[in-house]
Amino acid sequence: LCEPAPRETVLRAVPAAAGPFLLYPAAWRPYKNHTRLIEAVSLLRKRGHPDIQLVFTGFAPLPQELADLADQLGLTLVVHAAGQVERPILAGLYRAAAATVVPSLYEQGSFPILEAIRCGCPAVASDIPAFREAFVAFDGAIPMFDPYSPESIASVVAEVLVDRAAVQYRQALALPTRSW
């Protein structure tokens, strides 16, 4: 996966990747919890990260529910739905993102978390049983948050943004060495 397209190609496909942004690569489904992530971005922008953008992949345009929420929070120009992207573009987004955030309410697993870490992007995730079990070997290297709380999401993401390199390093060390 981590053979990214050239930066210029990534920026043509997803112009929001030019500035600091959070990435959530996931199809739009209610349990994927996009709404609380948008609410968390609103909090982050008010608390010291005024330039942070949010990029979703996997769907475009924004579903009406998400567009309405972004508009209500004054984030119409901040929340971006990039649609389906080719693997090299996704790898480029992982490389450029400030962090990958996976706020799902439930899952059986999450390739985006592993892909992000493999591409050198710090990942944060919901504190849900499937993720706790899947990433137990990471020994706490993946910061987790309460997915029902935009405040919790924003707080954990803010902590990662303050010391992104340290989180990146801990996650790289914890990454299993086997190929996948």
- From the list 13, 57, 22, 19, the residue with the least C-alpha distance to 41 is 22
**Containing H/E element for 79?**
strand 79-81
The amino acid sitting at 166 is A
What distance in Å separates the CA atoms of residue 159 and residue 63, rounded to the nearest whole number? 29
**Containing H/E element for 115?**
helix 111-118
Residues 6+ apart with CB under 8 A from 162: none
pTM confidence score:
0.95
* pLDDT per residue as tens, the chain (180 positions): 689 999 999 999 999 999 999 999 999 999 999 999 999 999 999 999 999 999 999 999 999 999 999 999 999 999 999 999 999 999 999 999 999 999 999 998 779 999 999 999 999 999 999 999 999 999 999 999 999 999 999 999 999 999 999 999 999 999 876 544
Buried b (16+ CB within 10 A) or exposed e, 119-128: bebbbbbbeb
What distance in Å separates the CA atoms of residue 118 and residue 4, rounded to the nearest whole number? 12
